Chains A and B, each alone.
Chain A
């Protein structure tokens, strides 16, 4: 490969602001403009695995719900394969593994439906426990925050997970574990995100 003369600097981030929905989820902002809004169906109709709902709330340093947040979801399928050409393996037709979720403007609650991902091969052959990657943007967040959702019914896999294990403070690992419940035949995982405070969620510099 030829030697490159110089590096460029990355374009700096800026907050997505309070009106991020206009650009990334205009239907939720109150107007239909596109034929299809992206990110509404994460797993598609053909995905294998357990259908689950993930729900939660984002709270700020005062404990108040953040009502203008946008979350982006990125996950592997039930076989632990991402829908991307650099990840070997096939995913089901219609499985994208990516989605967008906004909070309810009134309550701050958010939820999305997907399939539970499988374990993913990590660095140096260490298997990562099933997890969903999240990007969190909102007014007041200057650079989008990255975190991961793990599942509390995967205790053994979580204990061996190389990413959870590198969090030095063991009690902070718990901020990445969603709690499973079942009601009316629906499996739901609760995952609350604290931007600040005693229970501050672990965010990653990826």
Chain B
């Protein structure tokens, strides 16, 4: 099967599969969700094109959160994990050479951010962000520590399940995706108001990274698998369809 990307418009986004814009239980969304419907826009060059990244943009070690902020010879506290997977499109084709960026709390549930004042300790050896380019098969991997759950000001006793934020570009501005992945078996997932902005349980399942014993490093590092699916494209040629006379 060819792995060349399609050249046409992106499939329209299934807005019922994505989170609702507003949810009373996720309180911040109440004042930040648009009230008017989105205006549907057929793809133009503005949506089909998007930023292109290369190896000059990042360093080879940017995907190793165990070392990219640690003092020499030291390591972050926490369960050492590999997170890996593939970036595919809705046609099940790999998306190669695309930028994947992650950010997360440390093992105590604290972010290295000036606005995070949680009681959990900052880890001097953990920055909490990483980035990489997918390879020719759409594969990516990071080394990091498993993030801790943490409380947040929403309802009085809300706790975020352990999660890693993920940002992926794809090939066009319309394909841009920012999401979060959770960890298999976490009882906080079902209680989370942010997770529950997604109406379909099958969609939530797509956000749960699976324990992957085959990718572990014995006596060293656990592994979780998280595959990412970006929007697919029609096969119509761009030049023929969108810019035709």
Q: Taking beta carbons and an 8 Å cutoff, which residues of A are in contact with B?
A: 1-2, 4, 6-24, 26, 29-31, 33-36, 38, 60-62, 64, 66, 68, 72, 74, 76, 82-88, 96-98, 105, 120-125, 128, 131, 133, 135, 137-146, 148, 163, 166-167, 172, 195-197, 200-206
**Cβ–Cβ contact B31 & A23, under 8 A:** no
**Cβ–Cβ contact A9 & B206, under 8 A:** yes
Q: Which chain B residues lie closer than 8 Å to A9 at the CB level?
A: 14, 17, 90, 202-203, 206, 229
**Cβ–Cβ contact B26 & A140, under 8 A:** yes
CA distance A1 to B239 in the complex (A): 19
**Cβ–Cβ contact A10 & B45, under 8 A:** no
**Cβ–Cβ contact A12 & B206, under 8 A:** yes
Task: A1-B2, A203-B36 are known; give 13 further A-B pairs, CB within 8 A.
Answer: A8-B89, A15-B194, A24-B101, A26-B129, A61-B30, A61-B32, A72-B176, A84-B50, A145-B34, A203-B38, A205-B15, A205-B40, A206-B173
Q: A12 is contacted by which of B7, B17, B53 (Cβ under 8 Å)?
A: B17
**Residue ID in chain B nearest A33 by CB atoms:** B127
Number of residue pairs spanning A and B whose beta carbons lie under 8 angstroms apart = 274
Tell me, yes or no, whether B51 is within 8 Å of chain A by CB: yes
CA distance A144 to B13 in the complex (A): 12
Q: Which chain A residues lie closer than 8 Å to B115 at the CB level?
A: 18-19, 68, 105
Tell me, yes or no, whether B114 is within 8 Å of chain A by CB: yes
Interface residue count on the B side (C-beta < 8 Å)? 96
CA distance A115 to B235 in the complex (A): 33
CA distance A15 to B167 in the complex (A): 11
Q: A60 is contacted by which of B31, B89, B243 (Cβ under 8 Å)?
A: B31
**Cβ–Cβ contact A23 & B230, under 8 A:** no
Tell me, yes or no, whether B62 is within 8 Å of chain A by CB: yes
What is the CB-to-nearest-CB distance from A200 to chain B, in angstroms, rounded to a whole number? Answer: 6
**Residue ID in chain B nearest A84 by CB atoms:** B49
Q: B46 is contacted by which of A26, A30, A35, A133 (Cβ under 8 Å)?
A: A133
Q: Taking beta carbons and an 8 Å cutoff, which residues of B are in contact with A?
A: 1-2, 7, 12-15, 17-21, 23, 26, 28-36, 38-53, 57-59, 62, 68-69, 88-92, 99, 101-103, 111-116, 127-129, 131, 165, 167, 171-174, 176-180, 194-195, 197-198, 202-204, 206-207, 228-232, 235, 238-239, 242-245
**A/B interface sample: 19 pairs, CB < 8 A:** A6-B92, A9-B203, A11-B207, A11-B228, A12-B19, A13-B18, A14-B207, A19-B113, A20-B178, A34-B62, A66-B32, A74-B173, A84-B51, A105-B114, A123-B242, A128-B46, A140-B30, A166-B41, A205-B12
**Cβ–Cβ contact A203 & B39, under 8 A:** yes
**Cβ–Cβ contact A205 & B34, under 8 A:** no
Check A20/B103 contact, CB under 8 A, given A10-B13, A12-B198, A14-B179.
Answer: yes
Q: B235 is contacted by which of A1, A14, A105 (Cβ under 8 Å)?
A: A1
**Residue ID in chain A nearest B15 by CB atoms:** A205
CA distance A105 to B113 in the complex (A): 12
**Cβ–Cβ contact A4 & B92, under 8 A:** yes
Check A120/B46 contact, CB under 8 A, given A10-B229, A200-B34.
Answer: yes
CA distance A99 to B179 in the complex (A): 20
CA distance A62 to B49 in the complex (A): 35
- Of A11, A131, A139, the most chain B CB neighbours within 10 A belong to A11
CA distance A195 to B197 in the complex (A): 18
CA distance A96 to B38 in the complex (A): 28
Q: Which chain A residues lie closer than 8 Å to B207 at the CB level?
A: 11-12, 14
**Cβ–Cβ contact A143 & B21, under 8 A:** yes
What is the CB-to-nearest-CB distance from A60 to chain B, in angstroms, rounded to a whole number? Answer: 4
CA distance A202 to B41 in the complex (A): 12
**Cβ–Cβ contact A13 & B129, under 8 A:** no
**Cβ–Cβ contact B112 & A74, under 8 A:** no
**Cβ–Cβ contact B39 & A205, under 8 A:** yes
What is the CB-to-nearest-CB distance from B120 to chain A, in angstroms, rounded to a whole number? Answer: 13
**Cβ–Cβ contact A195 & B32, under 8 A:** yes
- Of A61, A125, A166, the most chain B CB neighbours within 10 A belong to A61
Check A11/B102 contact, CB under 8 A, given A35-B59, A123-B44.
Answer: no
What is the CB-to-nearest-CB distance from A140 to chain B, in angstroms, rounded to a whole number? Answer: 3
What is the CB-to-nearest-CB distance from A134 to chain B, in angstroms, rounded to a whole number? Answer: 10
Check A141/B194 contact, CB under 8 A, given A16-B165, A35-B59, A82-B45.
Answer: no
